[in-house]
Structure 1
């Protein structure tokens, strides 16, 4: 009997100092395809744009929301309150910062990770609410190479189903880290289906700073790399 995987690749996240910077950065690489507006996350003081990458899969551009200069109760997620991280985004521009895996058992799965993911928190955008792991200081687990976990409501379709389809597809995601064994162990414990042998998520050693590289395919057939 096949045991269903407990986690699946859900979305990849581009962080930016401003959401306009992020949208323009993505559009320039996707030959003019612009991620449509998503919405605001009042609890976290951020807002985003979203682009469908297939069934149950999307790209997110996220940035601090100038309408909420100070999050009401905690540092922003995705390291967007980290001065050094923000300075890098302002200096070097947006970048693919991390990825998110979905699960139906977020608390139990997060507890197995050898890399601390933070406690699941309830957040929302408009009428949609979900659970997501966020470290207390808002940092990215393993500098973004180990995924954040998300649990969508079971009684609603996945958000990607309502996104416009520009025929962009994710073909692969490479996770570069100086300690690939640690990352591989985390993915095994999180049971990410796409990270199993032969899957589109792979771990490679990095001689310096951790980074992510996504390989996309446009409807035209052109290959695109985001990193």
Structure 2
């Protein structure tokens, strides 16, 4: 099975991402950390029901990489916006066997957090990055449990794509979450989030 784990907003810089998300939601982001393997860093926001949101950007202090970054961040440009959704599983190898296009398992760490994630060699996930990144946490540590409550909760994750029906069908046997909605249209994502200030949208 797949369960929604967290949402990612990509930005050219963390400062731009922070300003955009904090303005949109009216709440403050919290410190994250660095991902040495892929030369990125992030900021985090704790959400209800064990979810969290991250703002992620290329770390300007990171060394040049001989391979593409995850989340297709090497090609990212423009305003901060929803980039990827991440689902957790207890059987990453099984998911990858069924969906080899999702990538190969890569061992990662940040501080004392350990996990494996399916990452395509190109850094580009199927369906123009609309297919979820799949993660398997190692041990019991999880970022959401360490984040201060923000009063925010996901109402809907809306994924639009010209092949939305095919994408939904590809995930139907593993993902059951009424908050995740697929709609036909140009490739894009929208996060509809209940906040202390009412419903806010990141798109």
Shorter-chain-normalised TM-score: which range?
A: over 0.9
Contact 1:16–1:63 (Cα < 8 Å) also in 2? yes
Gaps of 5+ in 2: none
Corresponding residue of 1:3: none
Q: Deviations over 1:1-51 (max 9, x none)?
A: xxxxx11001111001111111111011012x1211100001110000111
Q: Provide the rounded CA distance (Å) in 1 between the counterparts of 2:38 and 2:17.
A: 18
Matches within 5 A, 1:59-74: 59-71=53-65, 73-74=66-67
| Match status 1:128 vs 2:113 | yes
CA contact (8 A) 1:24 1:34 kept: no
Gaps of 5+ in 1: 1-5
**Do the aligned residues in 2 keep the contact of 1:177 with 1:210 (CA within 8 Å)?**
yes
Mapped partners of 1:141, 1:15: distance in 2 = 17
CA RMSD of the aligned region, Å? 1.4
Contact kept in structure 2, 1:141 and 1:148, CA below 8 Å: no
Q: Is the 8 A contact 2:115 2:136 kept in 1?
A: yes
Give runs of aligned pairs for residues 14-163 of structure 1, distance below 5 A: 14-31=9-26, 33-71=27-65, 73-82=66-75, 86=76, 88-89=77-78, 93-113=79-99, 116-153=101-138, 155-163=139-147
Tell me the CA shift for residue 129 of structure 1.
Answer: 1.4
Q: How many residues align?
A: 203
TM-score normalised by structure 1 residue count: 0.85
The structure in which a higher percent of residues are strand is 2
Spell out, residue by residue over 1:187-207, the C-alpha distance to the aligned partner (whole angstroms, 9 max, x if none).
114x1121xxxx11111100x
What's the CA shift for 1:140? 3.0
